Every structure is written in structure tokens, then in C-alpha cells.
Amino acid sequence: MSFRIATLNLEQDHKRWEARRELIVQQLGTLTPDVWALNEICLPLQTGRWLQREARTRLNLSYTLLQQSKVNAASLVEGEGLLTRYPVVETANFDYRALDMVALVARLNVDGHLVDVYVTHLYRSRGDDALRLFQVQQLLAWIQSRNDVDARLVCGDFNATLAMPSGQLMASVFQPTQTAVTAFTPLQDTDGTVSHPYWARFDRCIDYIWVAGPLTVRASGICFHTASAQDPTLWPSDHAGVWADLEFT
């Protein structure tokens, strides 16, 4: 029996959130993941709780919501999140002690299998990869300390391609479900500005679902990557998401 997992960077509440969120819910209804990892939940607007509620009322999808705020001043702004239809056995979090970034893990009971699902968002994509490499080293050490599970998944915006040292290190331990381009969509704000104007649109993959353990990737691809039919500048987020259908072998 397979299960579906997805991940998406929400871009906080920036660039017409109230319009974007409608696209997200619409496309969620087509995707219907069993587990959904989220970066950049906007904590003041409680966007994770809004998505949980709308999934239940509009789509009849019942999710448990887990959230972990960033640390220091960023704890009032954004966090990582996970929506899951599977029972939660335990949760934990990790502070990288660098630029307020954190990781969240939830241990899920997936049809009798214990699966740790990690959600994280690494250092920004501009500049040197050294800090991301340091974060990946810390993340892998933490994951290794929690090795009493059947399988492990790591989801989120890594801000790195597989050609970079941080991506190469992750790939030495985990398998990415796909490498199609995820960054950045042509999402525009009301004044026409786009996220990260110094990067080309849809030019590389920096968002991943990483898999380790006795899991087969039955299908995978990108998601939340369709613009509004009425407005080609309106997209669900500035990133495309990633989805995968996984099955225990």
C-alpha cells in the first residue's frame, strides 16, 4: 500500500496571500497528500491552521497540524509545519543555532510502520554553501541519533542544488524523489515585483523530499505549480512544491 507525501514553501503571507491561498486549496484538492510538509508558515496569520481548516471543510481531508516556530525574533514571524492524516507517535525539534533556523520531526505510524518525517528550511540560496553544508551535517547527525524507525523522510526548501556540497552530502545518505525544477515561479506582487529577482524563473531544483529506508518511489513530480487561469502572474507560491507516492518494500 502506498502513501502520498508533499512539500511546499508557502512564502509566508507575502505577494497576495489571500488570493494565493485559494489556488493552494484548489490544487490540494487534486493532490490530496496523506502527509504535507510546509515551510514559511506565517505565524501571525496562522496560515497553517487556515489550511488545516479549509482542507477539512472544503475537501473533507482531516489533518493533524504540527508546527515549530523559528527561534529568537523570527519565532514571532514564521515556522515549519506538517499536516498528517496518520497517527502521531511523537514530535521533536532541532535548533541549528544559525540564523534562527530549525527543523521539525514527527514520528508517524504509517500502516504499522514507524516513519520519521523531518521538515526544514536551510540557509538562503545566495552566497556561499558553507553554512548550508554545516546545517546538513548537523541535521544528519540528529537524524542518526533517532535511528530506531523503519524509514526516514526529509522535506523542505534546501536552497541548494545537487551539484553543491550540501546537496551532495544529503544525497550520500538519502535519495531525492525527483530533481525537476522548483524555483522560482513567476509569482508577482501587486506592484509587479517577483521573489528573488536576481534569479531566473524555474531554473533549478532546490526543494526536495529525501527518502531513506525500505521505501520505493512509485511516482513523483512537482505540484502547486499552476498559475491562476484568470491571472498568469498569480501562483500558489514563489516555489513549486514536490510530491511523491511511496511504498514499503
- Kindly report, residue by residue over 152-197, the tens digit of the pLDDT: 999 999 999 999 999 999 999 999 999 999 999 999 999 999 999 9
Residues spanned by the domain of 152: 2-248
What is the structure's pLDDT at 128? 87
- Kindly tell me the burial class for residue 160, based on how many C-beta atoms sit within 10 Å of its own C-beta (0-12, 13-18, 19 or more): buried
Identify the pLDDT of residue 116: 99
Half-sphere exposure of 215 (CA within 13 A, CB side): 28
> Given pLDDT bands bounded at 50, 70 and 90, which one contains residue 40?
very high
- pLDDT tens for each residue of 185-229: 999 999 999 999 999 999 999 999 999 999 999 999 999 999 999
Can you give the C-alpha Rg of the chain in angstroms? Answer: 17
Domain count, the chain: 1
Nearest to 38 by CA among 46, 88, 132, 169: 46
Helix axes 17-31, 47-59, angle to 10 degrees: 50
For 91-121, what is each residue's pLDDT tens digit? 999 999 999 999 999 999 999 999 999 999 9
What average pLDDT does the chain have? 97
Q: Which three cell numbers stand for residue 100?
A: 534562527
pTM of the model: 0.98
CATH code of the domain containing 204: 3.60.10.10
Q: Are 45 and 59 in contact (CB under 8 A)?
A: no
- Report whether 135 contacts 166 (CB < 8 A): yes
